[in-house]
Amino acid sequence: MIKYPTVGVITIKTIRKRILLQIISIHITTAFILTQVLFAFATDLPPQPERPTEEPTEELPQLPPPCRICGRTACGIKHGDITGNGRVEIGDAIEIFKYLAQIDNSITKAGKGSREWRAALITVQSNKINKPTIMDAIEILKYLAKMNSIIYVKYIVSPQQLKEMGWFNVTDEMVADLNRTLKRFDITTTPRIRHFISQCAHESGLGRFMREMASGEAYEGRKDLGNTQPGDGPRFKGAGFIQLTGRWNYQQFANFIGDPKVMRGVDYVAEHYPWLSAGFWWHNNNMNEFVDGGVTVLQVTRRVNGGTNGLADREEMYKRAVKIFR
Q: Quick check: 127 pLDDT over 90?
A: no
More confident residue, 237 or 125: 237
Least confident of 47-56, 189-198, 213-222: 47-56
* 83-126 per-position pLDDT tens digit: 333 444 444 455 555 444 444 433 344 444 455 555 555 555 55
DSSP letters spanning 270-290? HHH-HHHHHHHHHHHTTHHHH
Mean pLDDT value of segment 284-294: 96
Residue 28: the pLDDT is 72
Exposed / middle / buried, residue 25 (Cβ in 10 Å: 0-12, 13-18, 19+): exposed
* 239-287 per-position pLDDT tens digit: 999 999 999 999 999 999 999 999 999 999 999 999 999 999 999 999 9
- Tell me the whole-structure pTM to 2 decimals: 0.56
Please calculate the CA angle 106-110-111 and round it to the nearest 5 degrees: 140
Answer left, alpha or beta for residue 71, where phi above 0 means left and psi between -120 and 50 means alpha: left
Cα–Cα distances in Å, from 259 out to 144, 186, 250, 272?
A: 36, 22, 11, 11
> Contact 197/187 with Cβ under 8 angstroms?
no
DSSP conformation class of 65? P
DSSP conformation class of 76? S
Mean pLDDT value of segment 204-216: 95
Query: Can you tell me the distance from the alpha carbon of 142 to that of 166, in angstroms, rounded to the nearest whole number?
Result: 29
Query: Can you tell me the distance from the alpha carbon of 105 to that of 87, in angstroms, rounded to the nearest whole number?
Result: 27
What is the distance in angstroms between the CA of the first residue and the CA of the last residue of the chain? 140
Least confident of 113-117, 150-154, 306-310, 312-316: 150-154
Answer left, alpha or beta for residue 53, where phi above 0 means left and psi between -120 and 50 means alpha: beta
Residue 108: the pLDDT is 41
For residue 145, give the amino acid letter.
A
